[in-house]
Chains A and B, each alone.
Chain A
């Protein structure tokens, strides 16, 4: 391998790694706050990319119907769970968030979609459509069993993944789509051609990671979430509602997923089920960081991205085999170095 190839692979790895980093951060956040190992994180990524693609074609994105479906389910789920203590105020809030909000989005999207207002609008609309899905999924699947073991939560996460992939196929169809690049410029650095897209990916990721750090370091909500993740019971005792914390963390995760979706759309052909592999690789990175440390998860994401680039150069057929096999020795090392990982 000469240095040009190496640099090319490095660039490729950093781009992939940057995308995984956003998802990995989201996984660590969700695990820390709710103990859910959120397998379907990648779905947010795929759905966002597919939404942007639909908007680019001037079509009403099917995402709006998916959002409405999730909203109805979330409403039913919450009413079923809290039927004994249901108040009018709570019903009104459920109706506003789960039914009216998706309907408003449907109206907006119906009006805006055919106007083809440009990439910025598409991205904004797609992100806004995907974010509420996070809290909705949390309320449907995880809030009622929030006190279960990590294992039960993991299996439920798989159930959610199955359902979301199935819904993805119904709403988006089996075709793969790529979206327009964020920047079509490119420049050379020695022998290396750097595309505007790759700069955009790295810059966006860096900005959002910084925002993320700022949010958790400075804001009250961020500190409350940190409190929840370090000691759930303690957080409740000082008045932080864990349900809200769960919803917020899923909302943030959906937001991070949506940003990843904006970034990967132009890089690869996205199918309704492409999210799974992206999510799983982010998951490898999150595990490398022990599902605990955000900076480690970012570093590990870059390592996974680079390893993937290397593997696809050396043994492209076995790329996935090697990426996932990579995790096993790390888990072993984690098992021996961390205190007992029991629930």
Chain B
């Protein structure tokens, strides 16, 4: 059934416009819908999936359109040859604009896109060699041989073939490891970075891809319209594109086409119907348009597509070919010191959060980091994982000193971690969340993913995720959205994700919090198993029973200073530890 959809769709594209079922008017309307769909698909990826809201995509349509206009009008170059020019110009512009934009945080990002969106509109309108506000006309049509593709139904085929390619490429991209990385970034950068994703460069790639789709849309627009002027590239069209993506459904590629269709048909109908009702010409459609925008966001802020077709399905898990799995990471020698913290220090302004603390995590051991609230445990944790930079001191990993280490480097070295507050992607399935942990065990880039060349690797990554889920006992919830799990289960998902990295050291931040007794026992059993396999574990924990029974070695912190260290028995009877936990003895 699913396999039949694509050829059927192809047939519709090739035949429908010539059947006479649609009038020329509607065919032309669908040409514009296809062009807008391209921009909206880019926005689905950028905004719906990646969480970067852009009001400025229309500017990139402008780059694509003006680029081809300039090249083809002045030089007589074939429009087919100017497509790479349009894409390149848009891509370079996006690279420069994006390099700044993706570094904006929170709501500064959409505001930034509004700012440059408006700037480019005025720029297009004031450059004399772009025809200023009048724009440029006389753009040659697309040709096949000597036949010009001017009729809307012929252009229809070109537009929708491009749309189909864009849909397939984008779907492929989203399915793969880069897609998961982008989806993870929307929730916050910590989890993605801890598993090797470089945030700014990943965001920039998505930004440039979305812009290039808009550039292709601009190229199509220029050769269909045969003239360009700044109007369609301003902030209002930019908002319309965003609305299409939001209306269709955040993060859904087909939703973008649905949204584009809805908006363009609606606007068109309003333009032709409203004057008949109201009786005079005016800008009535924009009033209704604004009102509908407000209503949609009031009633269905997740868009139409999920309402019609339900939530996104989890990927199917297929057993990969037998020898496709990546080789396991070599385990360190049994007596090696894995992590050594040497007088590490962290100051926040005048506050010394971690005061010259030293400890070591030997290979194949479980080390517990304990202490009362505010003792600096989490900060120490963040120093080891590279989330926070050190003020002073040194951390070495397998004997190599790490200076300015970043979470991504630590992941590459084989350090998997969990978070005190579960950092998962709620609208992504459990198994895909776990597969994010295996990010560094795959290598496919964006291009390979778009071309569908990462299939085998994807099977492998999902299979790794499946195995680790089985290991923590969550096989039966693999395909549900992670957001529907209970807190205790989420902690286990995080453990599975850390294991998917094939780590030699696992850092667990309060893994037992929120777990029931049975679950705690299962977790302790799992951690002992890991230790037996030669994996080291550093855990921060408040549950004393849990940690005392499990850890080979304990490090006790109080007010940022190490007050005791040793086996469970020694530490339990240390007067300084008792004082820290129970207060001074009177």
The digit string for A305-338, where 1 denotes a CB below 8 A from any CB of B, is 0000000000001101110110111011011101
CB atoms of B290 and A159 under 8 A apart: yes
Q: B293: which A residues are within 8 A, CB to CB?
A: 155-156, 158-159, 162
Which among B3-11, B141-149, B294-302, B315-323 touches the partner chain?
B294-302
Classify chain A: how many residues form its interface, as a range: 35 or more
**Is the C-beta of B286 less than 8 angstroms from some C-beta in chain A?**
yes
Please report the C-alpha to C-alpha distance between residue A192 and residue B45 in the assembled complex, in whole angstroms. 55
From A151, A161, A284, A336, contact of B115 by CB (8 A): A284
From A150, A167, A280, A340, contact of B118 by CB (8 A): A280
**Is the C-beta of A342 less than 8 angstroms from some C-beta in chain B?**
yes
Given the interface pairs A155-B242, A280-B118, A341-B105, the reply to whether A162 lies near B287 with Cβ below 8 Å is yes
**Is the C-beta of A287 less than 8 angstroms from some C-beta in chain B?**
yes
**Is the C-beta of A170 less than 8 angstroms from some C-beta in chain B?**
yes
Q: A161: which B residues are within 8 A, CB to CB?
A: 290
From B126, B239, B287, B301, contact of A148 by CB (8 A): B301
Q: A334: which B residues are within 8 A, CB to CB?
A: 108
From B118, B120, B122, B282, contact of A169 by CB (8 A): B282
CB atoms of A335 and B290 under 8 A apart: no
CB atoms of A150 and B107 under 8 A apart: yes
From A151, A158, A328, A336, contact of B107 by CB (8 A): A151
Q: How far is the CB of B48 from chain A (nearest CB, A)?
A: 12
Please report the C-alpha to C-alpha distance between residue A320 and residue B230 in the assembled complex, in whole angstroms. 14
Q: B107: which A residues are within 8 A, CB to CB?
A: 37, 150-151, 154, 341, 343
CB atoms of B112 and A328 under 8 A apart: yes
**Is the C-beta of A63 less than 8 angstroms from some C-beta in chain B?**
no
Please report the C-alpha to C-alpha distance between residue A156 and residue B126 in the assembled complex, in whole angstroms. 30
CB contact list, A154-187 vs B, under 8 A? 154-156, 158-167, 169-170
CB atoms of A340 and B106 under 8 A apart: yes
**Is the C-beta of A295 less than 8 angstroms from some C-beta in chain B?**
no
Please report the C-alpha to C-alpha distance between residue A157 and residue B105 in the assembled complex, in whole angstroms. 20
The digit string for B106-117, where 1 denotes a CB below 8 A from any CB of A, is 111011101110
Q: How far is the CB of A285 from chain B (nearest CB, A)?
A: 12
Q: A327: which B residues are within 8 A, CB to CB?
A: 111-112, 115
CB atoms of B126 and A321 under 8 A apart: yes
CB contact list, B237-253 vs A, under 8 A? 239, 242-243, 246
Tell me which of B114, B282, B301 has the highest count of chain A C-beta atoms within 10 A of its own C-beta: B114
| B-side interface mostly | helix
Q: A170: which B residues are within 8 A, CB to CB?
A: 282-284, 287
Q: B118: which A residues are within 8 A, CB to CB?
A: 280, 320, 324
Please report the C-alpha to C-alpha distance between residue A343 and residue B53 in the assembled complex, in whole angstroms. 14
In the complex, what residue of chain B is closest to A276 when comparing beta carbons? B235
**Is the C-beta of B422 less than 8 angstroms from some C-beta in chain A?**
no
CB atoms of A156 and B108 under 8 A apart: no
CB atoms of A324 and B282 under 8 A apart: no
**Is the C-beta of A234 less than 8 angstroms from some C-beta in chain B?**
no
CB atoms of B53 and A151 under 8 A apart: yes
**Is the C-beta of A196 less than 8 angstroms from some C-beta in chain B?**
no
Classify chain B: how many residues form its interface, as a range: 35 or more
**Is the C-beta of B236 less than 8 angstroms from some C-beta in chain A?**
yes
Tell me which of B107, B282, B287, B298 has the highest count of chain A C-beta atoms within 10 A of its own C-beta: B107
In the complex, what residue of chain A is closest to B242 when comparing beta carbons? A155
CB atoms of A163 and B100 under 8 A apart: no
CB atoms of A141 and B294 under 8 A apart: yes
Q: B122: which A residues are within 8 A, CB to CB?
A: 318, 320-321, 324
**Is the C-beta of A152 less than 8 angstroms from some C-beta in chain B?**
yes
**Is the C-beta of B119 less than 8 angstroms from some C-beta in chain A?**
yes
Q: A167: which B residues are within 8 A, CB to CB?
A: 287
Q: How far is the CB of B145 from chain A (nearest CB, A)?
A: 42
In the complex, what residue of chain B is closest to A151 when comparing beta carbons? B53
From B106, B242, B291, B298, contact of A163 by CB (8 A): B291
Q: B114: which A residues are within 8 A, CB to CB?
A: 280
CB atoms of B123 and A318 under 8 A apart: yes
From A37, A148, A320, contact of B297 by CB (8 A): A148
Please report the C-alpha to C-alpha distance between residue A325 and residue B417 in the assembled complex, in whole angstroms. 41
Please report the C-alpha to C-alpha distance between residue A331 and residue B104 in the assembled complex, in whole angstroms. 7
Q: A151: which B residues are within 8 A, CB to CB?
A: 53, 107, 110
**Is the C-beta of A145 less than 8 angstroms from some C-beta in chain B?**
yes
The digit string for A56-80, where 1 denotes a CB below 8 A from any CB of B, is 0000000000000000000000000
CB atoms of B106 and A342 under 8 A apart: yes
In the complex, what residue of chain A is closest to B289 when comparing beta carbons? A162
From A166, A280, A320, A343, contact of B284 by CB (8 A): A166
Q: B246: which A residues are within 8 A, CB to CB?
A: 155
**Is the C-beta of B103 less than 8 angstroms from some C-beta in chain A?**
yes
From B53, B111, B115, B294, contact of A159 by CB (8 A): B294
From A165, A318, A336, contact of B286 by CB (8 A): A165
Q: How far is the CB of A324 from chain B (nearest CB, A)?
A: 4
CB atoms of B287 and A159 under 8 A apart: no
Q: How far is the CB of B577 from chain A (nearest CB, A)?
A: 35
CB atoms of A159 and B291 under 8 A apart: yes
Q: A328: which B residues are within 8 A, CB to CB?
A: 100-101, 112, 115-116
CB atoms of A162 and B284 under 8 A apart: no
CB atoms of B111 and A331 under 8 A apart: yes
Q: B111: which A residues are within 8 A, CB to CB?
A: 37, 283, 287, 327, 331
Please report the C-alpha to C-alpha distance between residue A144 and residue B285 in the assembled complex, in whole angstroms. 24
Q: How far is the CB of B398 from chain A (nearest CB, A)?
A: 33
From B108, B283, B291, contact of A165 by CB (8 A): B283
Q: How far is the CB of A289 from chain B (nearest CB, A)?
A: 13
Chain A to chain B contacts (Cβ below 8 Å), 23 pairs? A152-B297, A154-B107, A158-B239, A158-B290, A160-B294, A161-B290, A162-B239, A162-B290, A163-B288, A164-B290, A166-B282, A166-B286, A166-B290, A170-B282, A170-B287, A280-B114, A321-B122, A321-B123, A324-B115, A324-B116, A327-B112, A328-B116, A340-B106
Q: Which 9 A/B pairs are nearest by Cβ-Cβ distance?
A: A341-B106, A162-B290, A163-B290, A159-B293, A166-B287, A166-B286, A320-B122, A317-B126, A327-B115
Sample of 6 further A-B pairs with CB below 8 A, known A162-B289, A166-B287, A320-B119: A158-B239, A159-B297, A163-B288, A318-B122, A324-B116, A332-B100
- Which A residues contact B (CB, under 8 angstroms)? 37, 140-141, 144-145, 148, 150-152, 154-156, 158-167, 169-170, 280, 283-284, 287, 317-318, 320-322, 324-325, 327-329, 331-332, 334-336, 338, 340-343
